[in-house]
Amino acid sequence: MRAIVFDAFGGPGNLRLAEVHKPSPAANEVLIEVHCASVNPVDWKIREGMLAELFPYEFPIVPGWDAAGVVAGTGKGVTAFHVGDKVFAYCRKPKVQHGTYAEYVTMAAEAVAPMPRNLDFAAASTIPLTGLTAWQSLFDAGKLSAGQKVLIHAGAGGVGSLAIQFAKSAGATVFTTARGRNHSYVKGLGADAAIDYTREKFVDAVRALAPGGIDLVFDTVGKHVQRESYKTLKRGGTLVSIIDLSESGEAEPYGVRTSFVFVSPNGGQLREIAALIEGGTVRPAEYEEIPLDRAAEAQERSRTGHVRGKIVLNIR
């Protein structure tokens, strides 16, 4: 099968299109014929070796953790899926080796879900990693509930685009940071207020919007953004970070809780997200499609940190 691979950690030039062995599903696994794989910042971080100490890996590595496609086979014990089903999944496995920038990938059936019926493969591939990250951060770690106020950083990004919509669908008031050119986009997703972090201090803007403080900060940027964010929370509030908690020492005077999330595969939560999409409450982030052989370019654009929405690799 065709796949993008790399044989050593390094720059985008290490990515090459290759013929590699087609995988077969083990017990309790599904074989997915991948139609589209979306690109996430973690893909270039892995390529550069930034996660080498977090996960076991083996070269050559096929990058990519997001897939939408068609079930092409099932392993022993799989009853929930059949050949021909349209599915999507966040395909992170215990070892970094066989990713989704490929014509086929295998994944544990429990992490796979039927694609939302109203989406095509490209749109569906934008959902799993970012959707599960937003879901687990807002609801599992952040305990967000109706009537609460939340600040979502980087609302125009892949994670932020879905986080805004999930928070609104849960009945929260949503403030988000984005540069001015993205304000109509994030407001179109439901944000109650957009703060241009390049022109004003977001702390001042949030304090003006919510003088009594807010309930939850979703930190998708880290460092000084995390440090400043503690000032926006009410006592007893929560900051959930998907970057790290390197600034959590700053939290103590504010009497707030901190939590770090590293997104886990979860087919059950993907089904819940699919239901919101089918019901029209949530739509995919804006995305651009490019062919698989331009994966290096896609990762370099992701690396700038200023892509609006997502980039999708077309594999078929």
Ligand X SMILES: NC(=O)c1ccc[n+]([C@@H]2O[C@H](COP(=O)([O-])OP(=O)(O)OC[C@H]3O[C@@H](n4cnc5c(N)ncnc54)[C@H](OP(=O)(O)O)[C@@H]3O)[C@@H](O)[C@H]2O)c1
Q: Contact positions toward ligand X, by CB under 6 A?
A: 40-42, 130, 133, 153-154, 156-160, 177-179, 182, 197, 220-221, 225, 242-243, 261-263, 302, 305-308
3-state secondary structure of 113: strand
The most distant pair of C-alpha atoms in the chain lies apart, rounded to whole Å, by 59
Q: Which is nearer to ligand X, 225 or 282 (CB)?
A: 225
Q: Which is nearer to ligand X, 178 or 277 (CB)?
A: 178
Measured CA to CA, the distance from residue 87 to residue 81 in angstroms comes to: 9
CB of 41 to ligand X, least distance (A): 3
Helix (H) or strand (E) holding 152: strand 149-152
Q: Which is nearer to ligand X, 39 or 71 (CB)?
A: 39
CB of 23 to ligand X, least distance (A): 24
Helix (H) or strand (E) holding 173: strand 173-177
CB of 312 to ligand X, least distance (A): 12
CB of 107 to ligand X, least distance (A): 17
CB of 189 to ligand X, least distance (A): 12
- 203-229: b or e for each residue (b if 16 or more CB lie within 10 Å)? eebbeebbeebbbbbbbbbbeebbbbb
Measured CA to CA, the distance from residue 144 to residue 40 in angstroms comes to: 25
Measured CA to CA, the distance from residue 109 to residue 30 in angstroms comes to: 5
Q: Which residue is nearest to ligand X (CB)?
A: 157
- DSSP strand E in 6-121: where? 16-19, 29-39, 57-62, 66-74, 86-90, 96-98, 104-108, 112-114
Q: Which is nearer to ligand X, 74 or 226 (CB)?
A: 226
Q: Which is nearer to ligand X, 49 or 305 (CB)?
A: 305
Picking from 7, 101, 51, 11, the residue whose alpha carbon sits closest to that of residue 295 is 101
CB of 75 to ligand X, least distance (A): 27
Q: Which is nearer to ligand X, 23 or 157 (CB)?
A: 157
